[in-house]
Amino acid sequence: MQYKKAAVILLTLLSAGICLSGIFFIFYSWMNNISFKVLNTNISGILFGVAALYLGFRYLLSVLKLKKELYKESSVFSWSNFRKQKTAR
């Protein structure tokens, strides 16, 4: 039980850190007029910050969903959860 709590806290902190770095990069790019050359086109650094913020927020929602699943009474650890599923082609 202790490992679950530590893992969820660590994942939450990491996803929150991604969100914060996205916010920081948005403001840094805005204040310093940062742009990147991508395929011979200048792209504003703000767009990269928005992408990082979006991914961090999406990961944060995934961690919260995982936390809800982990703390259900019916959830138990099973090695069979880690087996590869064979898919029909």
Query: What pLDDT digit, counting tens, does each position of 37-75 carry?
Result: 888 888 888 898 999 999 999 999 888 888 887 777 776
Beta-bridge partner residues of 44: 35
Query: Which of 32, 31, 36 has its CA nearest to residue 48?
Result: 36
Q: How confident is the model at residue 34 (pLDDT cuts 50, 70, 90)?
A: confident
What is the four-CA torsion angle of 74, 66, 80, 75, rounded to 10 degrees? -10
pTM above 0.75, yes or no: no
**Integer-rounded Cα radius of gyration of the chain:** 19
Query: Which of 83, 88, 28 has its CA nearest to residue 52?
Result: 28
